[in-house]
C-alpha cells in the first residue's frame, strides 16, 4: 500500500517482484529483509518500506481492503473479479478465464 501511494509508477514492478518471490522462489515475503531487498531492486527505499511496516502505518487500510476482498468472496491469490460473477480465485487455465470473460460479455448467467 505504501508503494502504491508513494511510488505509483513502481507499484506494478514491486507487486510482480513480490509475486515472483513468493510463488516462484518460495521466499518468505513476511520477512522484512526479503521485502527490503525486493524494494531496493525495484528502485525503492527498502529501509523506508521496512519502517512503514514496523510502525504499522498502513495496517488499518490494508485490513480494510482485506475485509472488502473477503466480502467479495476472494479467499486467495491470484483473483479475478468479473461484475455479476463469482470471483475466480487461484491458478486456473487460461481457457477458463477466457470463457468466463466471453460469457460475461455475452451476458451469460453462469457463475
What is the per-residue pLDDT for 82? Answer: 86
Is position 82 within any domain? yes
Are 8 and 55 within one domain? yes
Are 45 and 79 within one domain? no
| Closest to 44 measured CA to CA, from 6, 72, 91 | 6
Is position 10 within any domain? yes
The band of 110, judged by pLDDT with boundaries at 50, 70 and 90, is low
Grid-cell match 521466499, residue found: 27
Domain around 51: 2-64
How large is the greatest C-alpha to C-alpha distance in the chain, in angstroms? Answer: 49
For residue 89, give the DSSP letter. E
Read off the pLDDT of residues 54-89 as tens digits, 9 standing for 90 and up. Answer: 999 999 999 999 999 999 889 888 888 888 788 888
Cell numbers standing for residue 76: 486467495
Quote the pTM value.
0.71
The proportion of the chain whose per-residue pLDDT surpasses 70, expressed as a percent, equals: 96
Q: Rounded to whole angstroms, how far apart are CA atoms 81 and 38?
A: 27
Amino acid at each position: 500500500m505504501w508503494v502504491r501511494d508513494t511510488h505509483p509508477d513502481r507499484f506494478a514492478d514491486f507487486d510482480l517482484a513480490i509475486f515472483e518471490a513468493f510463488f516462484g522462489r518460495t521466499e518468505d515475503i513476511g520477512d522484512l529483509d526479503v521485502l527490503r531487498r525486493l524494494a531496493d531492486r525495484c528502485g525503492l527505499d527498502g529501509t523506508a518500506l521496512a519502517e512503514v511496516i514496523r510502525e504499522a502505518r498502513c495496517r488499518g487500510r490494508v485490513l480494510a481492503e482485506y475485509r472488502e476482498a473477503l466480502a467479495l468472496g476472494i479467499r486467495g491469490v491470484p483473483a479475478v473479479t468479473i461484475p455479476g460473477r463469482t470471483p475466480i480465485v487461484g491458478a486456473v487455465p487460461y481457457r477458463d478465464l477466457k470463457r468466463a470473460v466471453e460469457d460475461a460479455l455475452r451476458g451469460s448467467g453462469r457463475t
